[in-house]
Structure 1
Amino acid sequence: MVKLTYIEHDGTTHDVEAAPGLTVMEAAVKNNVPGIDADCGGACACATCHVYVDEAFRAKTGEPSPMEESMLDFASERQENSRLSCQITVEEALDGLSVRLPEFQG
Structure 2
Amino acid sequence: MIVRFVRTDGRVEEARGAAGDRLLDLAQAYDLPLEGTCGGQMACSTCHVIVDPVDFARLPAASEEEEDMLDFAEGAVATSRLACQIVLDESLGELTVRVPAAARDARR
Identity of aligned residues (%): 36
**1:6 aligned residue:** 5
The one-letter amino acid paired with 1:83 is R
| Structure 1: runs of 5+ lacking an equivalent | none
Ranges of 4+ aligned residues in structure 1 off by more than 4 Å: none
Unmatched 5+ stretches in structure 2: none
SS in 2 for 1:60: coil
Report the counterpart of residue 25 of structure 2 in structure 1. Answer: 26
- The CA deviation at 1:54 is 0.6
Superposition RMSD on alpha carbons, in Å?
1.0
Length, aligned pairs only: 104
Normalising to structure 1: TM-score of the pair? Answer: 0.93
CA displacement, residues 9-61 of structure 1 (integer Å, 9 cap, x when unaligned): 2102110101110111111112212x211111111110000001111111221
TM-score by length of 2: 0.91
Which residue type is aligned with residue 105 of structure 1?
Answer: A
**2:14 matched to 1:15?**
yes
